[in-house]
Every structure is written in C-alpha cells, then in structure tokens.
Structure 1
C-alpha cells in the first residue's frame, strides 16, 4: 500500500519538484507519462553496485544486479524489487502496452515488454526512463 506522504495532486507535485523539474523532463515523464529520447539518459550505460530509486519519492525500485544492456536506448532491468513497481494497461499508442509505475507514488517509469528473447531469468525487459530513477551506491551516495 502507498505511503500517504507519497500520494499528491499534480499541483502538490509541482510544489515539491524544483522549477526546473516542473518544466523539464522529470515532471513531464514522472507525472505526465512522457518518454525521454532514446540514448539520452544518464543511466543507459551506467554501471555500479547499488539500488535505483524513484526520482519522485525515493522508494527503492531496482537492484543493480537486475540491470542489463538491451541496446534499446534506455536503462533495462529484468525484474523489480518485489512490490516496488506496479503494472497498468496502456493503450495510448493505439495498441496495448504495459506501463510500469512506482507503487509508492504512481510516478511513470516506462514500460515492460515480455518475450523479446533476451537471456534474462524473467524473459522481461523493464524499459525505464533515466529521469524517473536515481542511483544510490552501496555507500549511500547518489549518482
């Protein structure tokens, strides 16, 4: 169940996020379900040991051990921390996709795809926008 402190109206999110974030990709992507351009995200090729947290509320979402190089242009993970990511049907492009959101705050992360043939344990690819996540290393330092 969501922590009440992470349930906010869009106006409350605008007040919490910095002015730059409201008019730039973090707000547009996390709150308005946008997508960053392929190959432009800071975490696409990033390698490190730690956890990827929600950029909106800070909830842990993905262990670094589940990140893999899919060549898709966005960070890819084969599994989320149990209960951290929720799935929703997304027919917005005229066909059905599965949107993934932070369970704690509802922030848009990206989409999950199945059966693409990647050699990963779940046969899934969580295609995540870099601006939707923040990496924290094993020492607690954000990158």
Structure 2
C-alpha cells in the first residue's frame, strides 16, 4: 500500500519536530509509537468538529465518521478525503497491518483495519491515537 506518488508538503527536520512537539507527541507522531489504550482524550469525546493532525494542522477526520469501537482509541470509518492520509504497509509486531500517516507531514496517526463487522458504511476502523490529533470544535450558531 505504499504510495510514493504523494510527498509531504510540511517538511521539517527532526530537531524542529522535537521543539514543536511534547516528548509523548513526538514518540507517537514521529516514531510511530502508540498511546496506551483507554488513555487518550478523544476516545469518548462527543464534540462535533474536525480532527486535525496535531503536528501540522491538516484536517483529517470529521466527528460524524467517529464511532465507538470499544477498542481504547478514537475510531473513524473514513478520512475527510483519501488524499488527506497515506497508507503504509506495517509488518512490525509480528503481523501485517496498514499504518495511516498524515499526507501533509508524514506523521503517524494509527492504523486502519477492515472486515471487523462494525455497522459502518465502509466496514473500516481507522484506529487513531488521540496524541496524533487535535479536535477543532465546530463553532455554535
């Protein structure tokens, strides 16, 4: 699933990223780490809005596509648009998965899983780290 036709447009040095991000954010976003399950601020957040990349601010998901997968991380059934994310084959941890990265800055968001039987329009679960996202609430009125 590597897609080498898209290149990040928000390019920074790793030193720049270390200055911008907290150590926990850096570990998840730049080193493809994973936050502990059931520890993220957005797992159960009902706020209506857009979920943007915490590193660069690119808008990636809408709250309308968020659903409760009871997996410990915020889950979505689709990105805002396919060109907002990049898919990378991930064979770490002794299994084959599909990593999801921000197409704008190449930061790690989480993984996408399919055919798990969730009653969503896509039967996909974009399992994202809260530390990879920043929720921008829709303005009222």
Q: Give me the TM-score of the superposition, normalised by structure 1.
A: 0.89
Mapped partners of 2:138, 2:44: distance in 1: 18
1:15 to 16, 19, 24: 19
Aligned residues: 134
Hey, what does 2:94 align to over in structure 1? 94
> Secondary structure in 2 aligned to 1:57?
coil
CA-CA distance at 1:16 after TM superposition: 2.7
CA contact (8 A) 2:76 2:126 kept: yes
- 1:64 & 1:136 partners in 2: Cα distance? 10
The residue aligned with 2:116 is 116
The equivalent of 2:43 in structure 1 is 44
Separation (CA, whole Å) in 1 of partners of 2:27 and 2:98:
19
- Kindly state the Cα deviation for residue 9 of structure 1 after the two structures are TM-superposed: 2.1
User: What's the C-alpha RMSD, in Å, of the aligned pairs?
Assistant: 1.4
Secondary structure, aligned partner of 1:36: coil
Counterparts of 1:87 and 1:14, CA distance in 2: 24
Give 1:1-143 correspondences, 5 Å limit.
2=7, 4=9, 6-17=10-21, 21=22, 23=23, 25-82=24-81, 83-139=83-139
Q: Which moved more, 1:31-40 or 1:8-17?
A: 8-17
* Unmatched 5+ stretches in structure 2: 1-5
Distance 2:46 2:73 in 1: 13
SS in 1 for 2:113: strand
Is the 8 Å Cα contact of residues 8 and 106 (structure 2) preserved in structure 1? no
Structure-2 separation of matches of 1:90 and 1:65: 28
